[in-house]
Amino acid sequence: MTNLLSYKKAWGSIIAAMLMVMSLHASAKSPIYTSYFSDLAVAGYDTVAYFTENKAVEGSKRFTTEYKGAQWRFKNADNLAAFKGNPEKYAPQYGGYCAWAVANNDTAKGDPLQWTVHKGKLYLNYDAEVQSKWVKDKEGFISSADKNWPKVIK
């Protein structure tokens, strides 16, 4: 009986600690979206390729750099050099969070396969349904998102 109570207390403590860590993570968001168990920006996709190839291209572990606390991957050395030379040009707006969510004063993951380059800037959206809403009024959503960013992650 004593072992069972000790076991329950130990699990209770572990669960409480996990909830505390998760709530701290949820309240202070990183300026660059990465998944919970990864430090990869844009899920490892090459942000330069959106501009140069007009498509989503997975980056390589061979060509990486750190920027704003996240790891960024690139298809090749040329794209890595371009990013290092001007990261603000190639990094997605709103840190890679969903542009539509930020426009609505919220955050959500940005899906690297749901993207738009508009007026020389990269925007990601949560999924195809959200992106279809976002593209109908890009200018309006960008204006709203610009007002909300970066307050929305603080």
Q: Would you state the pLDDT for residue 15? A: 52
pLDDT at residue 47, as a whole number? 98
Ordered mean pLDDT values, 10 residues apiece, the chain (154 residues): 49 49 57 94 98 98 98 98 98 98 98 98 98 97 98 95
Say what the pLDDT of residue 20 is. 44
Task: Find out whether 94 and 153 touch, Cβ atoms under 8 Å.
Answer: no
Give the per-residue pLDDT at 19. 45
Kind and range of the H or E run holding 112? strand 111-118
Long-range own/partner contacts, residues 131-135 (CB < 8 A, 24 or more apart): 131/100, 133/100, 134/99, 134/100, 134/103
The answer to whether the CB of 103 falls within 8 A of the CB of 144 is yes
pTM of the model: 0.82
